Chains A and B, each alone.
Chain A
Amino acid sequence: MAGDERVYRLEGFAVPAELDRVHELIERVGAEELRLDSTDLMLFEMAVVEIANNVVEHGRPAGEVRWQLILTVTAEAITADLYDSGEVVSLDFARAMPEEDAESGRGIPLAKSLLDEISVGPSDSGSGNHWRLLRRLGASDAE
């Protein structure tokens, strides 16, 4: 199993301009992991971007939060471990998709609908947060 695992990472500030780098990292995964179904990767990308957006928008102190994104691909799943240096967050992943005319509030429910596992907690390092997002591969039933 361990030999079958590939890891991709990036580090930087959690600011809007860095979101393109998140897309680029996922594009690299798509280019290098030929066994990955393109729909799985597209849906996973949407989930990762929503969580990255959340850190960019709500991470405090604003503009000073750093992050590290680690993507791990195995035969069974694709996982994102996102470590941010911001103040500890607590989030309700059970929140429902808002009404049709709402202009915000869809990011977290959307991310959850695309993943098999989603969690956030204080990072083991003692400061910041660890977001963990996992999508199992080959099931395509999260749609």
Chain B
Amino acid sequence: MEFEERTRGTASVLAPRGKLNLVTAPAVKAKIDELVASGSPRIVVDLSEVTFMDSSGLGALIGSLKSARQAGGDMRIAAAGEQVRAVLKLTNLDRILAPHDTVEDASRGW
């Protein structure tokens, strides 16, 4: 899976591209864990280029959220498309992974 990585203020912004699924979820989780371990526990996952997310992708995001919080940071998601928003809602995860409209919104307050 391809990622674009950048920083915004004190947050690391990670933008995976393509499907966040059974095949690619472990790489996303590993990448976020690496950012957290390197001392950047404030993560924004920019989902604007994610075309489809399944329950494995959700699992990776939840695991990443836990890693970030354990390190004293947090993980927020931004710019999710229709399908990603639907899967979050259907699994009742839109509360702990509240989708922010933009990366700017998600990084506010950091």
A and B bind: yes
Interface residues in chain A, defined as those with a beta carbon under 8 Å from any beta carbon in chain B: 16-17, 19-20, 23, 42-43, 45-46, 49-50, 53, 56-57, 97, 100-104, 106-107, 109-110, 113-114, 143
In the bound complex, do residue B90 and residue A103 qualify as a contact, i.e. CB atoms below 8 Å apart? no
Q: Mark B29-60, 1 if CB is under 8 A from A, else 0.
A: 00000000000000000000000101110111
A46 contacts which chain B residues (CB < 8 A)?
54, 83, 86-87, 90
Asked whether, in the complex, the Cβ of B86 is within 8 Å of the Cβ of A57, the reply is: no
- Consensus secondary structure, chain B interface: helix
Partner of B92 from A16, A97, A103, A114 at Cβ < 8 Å: A97
Q: Is the interface of A mostly helix, strand, loop or mixed?
A: helix
Would you list 17 pairs from A and B whose C-beta atoms are within 8 A, ordered by A residue?
A16-B23, A19-B21, A23-B19, A45-B52, A46-B87, A46-B90, A49-B54, A97-B92, A100-B62, A101-B62, A102-B62, A103-B60, A107-B54, A110-B87, A110-B90, A114-B90, A143-B90
A19 to B86, CA, bound (A): 20
Q: Which residues of B contact A (CB under 8 A)?
A: 19, 21-23, 52, 54-56, 58-60, 62-63, 66, 82-83, 86-87, 89-93, 95-96
Closest B residue to A15 using CB positions: B23
Cα A57 to Cα B60 in complex, Å, equals: 16
| Chain B residues positioned under 8 Å from A57 (CB to CB) | 22
Determine which of A20, A23, A53 lies in contact with B55 in the assembled complex, contact meaning CB atoms within 8 Å.
A53
A43→B21 contact, CB < 8 A: no
B22 and A101 contacting across the interface, CB-CB below 8 Å: no
Q: How far is the CB of A143 from chain B (nearest CB, A)?
A: 7
Partner of A107, one of B19, B55, B63, B95: B55
**B54 — which chain A residues lie within 8 A by C-beta?**
46, 49-50, 53, 107
Instruction: Kindly provide the distance from the CB of B65 to the nearest chain A CB, expressed in whole angstroms.
Output: 8
| Residue contact A103 to B63, C-beta cutoff 8 Å | yes
**Closest Cβ neighbor of B59 among chain A residues:** A103
- Complex contacts, A103 vs chain B, CB 8 Å: 59-60, 62-63
Instruction: Please name all residues of chain A whose beta carbon is closer than 8 Å to the beta carbon of B66 when the two chains form the complex.
Output: 101
Residue pair B55, A16 in contact (C-beta under 8 Å): no
